[in-house]
Chains A and B, each alone.
Chain A
Amino acid sequence: MRALLLRDLMLAIRAGGGFGLGLAFFLIVTVLVPFGVGPQTELLSRIAPGILWIGALLACLLSLDRILALDWEDGSLDLLATAPLPMEGIVTIKALAHWITTGLPLVLAAPVLGVLLSLPIPAYQWVVISLAVGTPALSVIGTFGAALTVGLKRGGLLMSLLVLPLYVPTLIFGAEVARRGAEGLTVQTPLLLLAGISFGVIALLPFASAAVLRINLR
């Protein structure tokens, strides 16, 4: 298991793409928003928490097809399936590797990009905390989507269609934490619900992803 994680991380670093693309995409989305809605500081600071969440979510989505498709193409997935690792473990490790290479950098970059959107000062900590709690759920749900579409030639668009509705609850609670934090309200309830979703999907969804992957491999 650890070997698989290390290999995925090493591949992400060596092949470039992994870390860089998601972050660059996050930056571009954040830069484009003021062009779209206008440069008024008060407007931007009001929508900043939501924009950061949506940007992070899209950046996450962008890199999902790398989770399993590459291993599928070169046959590694077949070989891993015959290895003494449970399929549930494989998909969990894959999701973890995706989070470390995509989710974690997004969490760390969010406060920097917050400056561009004049994010209110009290919101910084809550944006970071909500992203840190919520992005693992995005990776795990995304792995499920990637497993569903792994055998398809042009599965990317279909995967977005399948994964985005599944992202709705995470996005709502995550953005709610950030928004309430920005307005100085209490964030306990949405934060607990967000954590609940994250823990729930981490505990349960790998079973569905593994089942789907087994079906796709046969």
Chain B
Amino acid sequence: MSLWEYANPVKFIRTTDKVLPWVWTLAGLCLVTGLVWGFFFTPNDFRQGSTVKIIYIHVPSALMAINAWLMMLVASLIWIVRRHHVSALAARAAAPVGAVMTVIALATGAFWGQPMWGTWWAWDPRLTSFLILFLFYLGYMALWEAIENDDTAADLTSILCLVGSVFAILSRYAVNFWNQGLHQGATLSLDKEENISDVFWFPLLVCMAGFVLLFIALVFLRTQTEIRARRTRALLSREGQA
């Protein structure tokens, strides 16, 4: 029993069909619990007031925006090295989800930034990096759409994802160098003294778990769709040939 068995499309669909309802339910539970807890049962911040509550959407979506790209990178590597179709399709399926997460992070950041910093947008390193990340998502998705041959598209987008990752990291450092910025540093690292207090931390943790589960559910669903679309094309071409 190896992990690679799930690289078979049919097996993947069968397994995810069983798992998906559970993931959806858990994701829904976590999100409802975390958001209700966060919005209604935590105190307002003494400086930021009630706007601090946007953190329960902002931080998890920002987390997923980056992790979705990381997942695409891993899936692309698996496709290049082992050529499992599900892997390439999963990378394709994750891209729009990641792009939407990036937009959510940027938008909630803007809503938060307006009362806090007095501006909707600033060319702050973090904000700028996310905007650049969004551009990378757009290019990646556009390349998938533009190429007709499925395997060629998978090959090219995988290499783009690899090269893009390197340049995304370079951009991150370049942007840091370019402007020091307004955004606070990471307040969530576990080893720091000046961490945010547990009152905010626990609901946030639940929200992050909810977003991770939501992401997994969406990627599973979208990968299933991609597999089915691919199967339809394979069947149609076989029909046409016979």
Query: Is there direct touching of A and B in the complex, by C-beta distance under 8 Å?
Result: yes
Q: Is the interface of B mostly helix, strand, loop or mixed?
A: helix
Whether a CB of chain A sits under 8 angstroms from the CB of B152 is: yes
Q: Which residues of A line the B interface, CB within 8 A?
A: 144, 148-149, 151-152, 155, 158, 161-162, 164-166, 168-169, 172-173, 176, 189-190, 193, 197, 205, 208, 211-212, 215-216, 218
- Is A165 a contact of B143 with CB atoms below 8 Å? no
| Residues in B134-152 with C-beta less than 8 Å from chain A | 135-136, 138-139, 142-143, 146-147, 152
B143 / chain A contacts, CB cutoff of 8 Å: 148-149, 158, 162
Contact bitstring B113-148, A, C-beta under 8 A = 1, else 0: 000000000000000000010011011001100110
- Is A169 a contact of B156 with CB atoms below 8 Å? no
Which of the residues A148, A155, A165, A193 comes within 8 Å of B171, measured between beta carbons?
A165
- Is B177 a contact of A216 with CB atoms below 8 Å? no
Q: How far is the CB of A116 from chain B (nearest CB, A)?
A: 26
- Is A165 a contact of B167 with CB atoms below 8 Å? yes
Instruction: Name the CB-closest residue of A to B169.
Output: A169
20 more contacts with CB within 8 A, not counting A149-B143, A168-B132, A205-B163, are A148-B143, A148-B160, A151-B147, A152-B146, A161-B142, A162-B160, A164-B135, A165-B139, A165-B171, A168-B170, A168-B174, A169-B171, A169-B174, A172-B171, A172-B174, A176-B177, A193-B177, A208-B163, A211-B159, A215-B152
Whether a CB of chain A sits under 8 angstroms from the CB of B178 is: yes
A164 / chain B contacts, CB cutoff of 8 Å: 135
Interchain CA distance A165-B132 in the complex, whole Å: 7
B175 / chain A contacts, CB cutoff of 8 Å: 168, 172
Whether a CB of chain A sits under 8 angstroms from the CB of B109 is: no
Whether a CB of chain A sits under 8 angstroms from the CB of B155 is: yes
Interchain CA distance A189-B160 in the complex, whole Å: 29
Q: Which residues of B line the A interface, CB within 8 A?
A: 132, 135-136, 138-139, 142-143, 146-147, 152, 155-156, 159-160, 162-164, 167, 170-171, 173-175, 177-178
- Is A152 a contact of B159 with CB atoms below 8 Å? no
Q: How far is the CB of B190 from chain A (nearest CB, A)?
A: 31
Which of the residues B132, B156, B160 comes within 8 Å of A216, measured between beta carbons?
B156
B174 / chain A contacts, CB cutoff of 8 Å: 168-169, 172-173, 193
Instruction: Name the CB-closest residue of A to B141.
Output: A161
Interchain CA distance A189-B173 in the complex, whole Å: 13
- Is B171 a contact of A168 with CB atoms below 8 Å? yes
Q: How far is the CB of A41 from chain B (nearest CB, A)?
A: 25
- Is A215 a contact of B156 with CB atoms below 8 Å? yes
| Residue among B152, B171, B174 having the largest count of chain A Cβ atoms under 10 Å | B174
A173 / chain B contacts, CB cutoff of 8 Å: 174, 177
Q: How far is the CB of B229 from chain A (nearest CB, A)?
A: 21
- Is B177 a contact of A165 with CB atoms below 8 Å? no
Which of the residues B135, B138, B156, B173 comes within 8 Å of A148, measured between beta carbons?
B156
Interchain CA distance A148-B159 in the complex, whole Å: 9
Given contacts A158-B143, A165-B167, contact A190 B159 (CB under 8 A): no
Which of the residues A155, A166, A190 comes within 8 Å of B146, measured between beta carbons?
A155
A158 / chain B contacts, CB cutoff of 8 Å: 139, 142-143, 146
- Is B167 a contact of A172 with CB atoms below 8 Å? no
Which of the residues A161, A172, A212 comes within 8 Å of B156, measured between beta carbons?
A212
Q: How far is the CB of B168 from chain A (nearest CB, A)?
A: 8
Instruction: Name the CB-closest residue of B to A204.
Output: B166
CB<8 Å pairs between A and B, sample of 9: A148-B143, A152-B147, A162-B142, A162-B143, A165-B171, A172-B175, A172-B178, A173-B174, A218-B152
- Is B139 a contact of A169 with CB atoms below 8 Å? no
A218 / chain B contacts, CB cutoff of 8 Å: 152
